[in-house]
Amino acid sequence: MPRARASGALRLRVSLEVLDIRIPKPHEQTRPELLSQLVQEIERDGVLKVPVLLEREHHVILDGHHRWEALRRLRCRRIPAYVVDYSSEDISLTTWPGAIVATVTKEEVVAHGITGNLFPPKTTRHILKEKLPESPVPLKDLR
């Protein structure tokens, strides 16, 4: 698989990879209404604008559950992903306002991804010290 360094994110150890769609593991559920809107948007625009964010060791999705599921529903075989070292201090974890779960650890995120015991939608919020670029990929290149 091709690997490229995201500019300006060298401390975070980020690689941009195009992976088999079956590799990423979700750790939280999706919202049906958001998913439906995103499927329509990607299909209409013909492009995935932002790669998903995965942790390197187990390929658990940190950000982009709706994008991953939308591509699956659009019968894509590949997905662009920023793959990161999740132990990095440049990645912090919190929960979204209104989340059912008050606190979550990185270890719990990985465990939920590995076991498939998914958190409710929009539970975890990962914050990176350095913003990653959009890196759009045409839908036709993912099928």
CATH number, domain of 56, equals: 3.90.1530.10
Inter-residue contact 139 to 48 (CB < 8 Å): yes
Residue 2: pLDDT above 60?
Answer: no
Domain span holding position 31 = 3-131
Q: How many CB atoms lie within 10 A of CB 105?
A: 9
Residue 4: pLDDT above 60?
Answer: no
- Residue 90, SS3 per DSSP: coil
Residues 6+ apart with CB under 8 A from 18: 1, 2, 78, 79, 80, 81, 137, 142
Domain contains 138: no
- Helix (H) or strand (E) holding 77, with range, is none
Give dist(CA 27, CA 7) in Å, integer: 27
Residue 3: pLDDT above 90?
Answer: no
For residue 97, the model assigns a pLDDT of: 92
For residue 12, the model assigns a pLDDT of: 77
Give dist(CA 78, CA 76) in Å, integer: 6
Domain contains 139: no
Residue 53 DSSP code = E
Give dist(CA 28, CA 50) in Å, integer: 19
Domain contains 61: yes
For 7-53, what is each residue's pLDDT tens digit? 444 467 899 999 999 999 999 999 999 999 999 999 999 999 999 99
Domain contains 82: yes
For residue 11, the model assigns a pLDDT of: 67
Domain contains 141: no
For 59-94, what is each residue's pLDDT tens digit? 999 999 999 999 999 999 999 999 999 999 999 999
Q: Which ranges of the chain would DSSP assign to H, the alpha helix? A: 32-45, 65-73, 106-115
Domain contains 103: yes
Enter the pTM of the model: 0.90
Domain contains 12: yes
Strand order in the sheet with 52-55: 3-5, 15-20, 78-84, 52-55, 61-63
Structural domains of the chain, count: 1
Domain contains 136: no
